Amino acid sequence: MSLKDQVTEDMKTAMRAKDSERLGTIRLLLAACKQREVDERIVLDDAAVVAIVDKLIKQRKDSVEAFVKAERMDLADKESAEIKVLQAYLPQRLSADEVLAEVRAIVAELGAKGPGDMGKVMGAVKTRLAGKAEMGTVSAAVKTALAG
């Protein structure tokens, strides 16, 4: 079963359970998937769905940060609950050490040296680690690998 099919099944389950918060978040994810399919005239594979989930989680994290600064804990809690629902659709993430090891291997393969090669390395890393690691962690690992 594809990830998109799993999301659709989870939506049906949430409807039956009358779980409105979960249902709203899942519908939001499906709407984002459908929007991308219509815009680009493609059928999304699992990697593309994971990329959309990553993007939605990043947006929610930014919102939580803004709501906490504005002392709106009610809205921050709502966004945090949506993050938990969305995270269920992500594959198992690599640890920081595993990410650094992968990045160092890629840097060695490419023969990259110094911060000037960051773009080249990030391009290769994004394709290999897409969905397996948070890109903020990956970026920090690339900087560390190129500095050392």
pLDDT, position 148: 65
Is 0.75 surpassed by the pTM of this model?
Answer: yes
pLDDT, position 80: 96
pLDDT, position 12: 96
pLDDT, position 20: 94
pLDDT, position 137: 84
DSSP, collapsed to helix, strand or coil, labels residue 132 as coil
Please report, in tens digits, the pLDDT of each residue of the chain (148 residues total).
Answer: 899 999 999 999 999 999 999 999 999 999 999 999 999 999 999 888 988 998 999 999 999 999 999 999 999 999 999 999 999 998 888 888 888 888 888 888 888 777 777 888 888 888 888 778 887 888 888 888 887 6
pLDDT, position 135: 79
In 10 A of CB 34, how many CB atoms? 12
Q: Are 22 and 85 in contact (CB under 8 A)?
A: yes
CA 2 to mean position of chain CA atoms: 17
**96-147: CATH topology:** Arc Repressor Mutant, subunit A (1.10.10)
CATH number of 3-87: 1.10.1510.10
Kindly write down the DSSP assignment for every residue of 37-88, as one continuous string.
HHHHT----HHHHHHHHHHHHHHHHHHHHHHHHTT-HHHHHHHHHHHHHHHT
Listed by start position, the domains of the chain span: 3-87, 96-147
pLDDT, position 112: 75
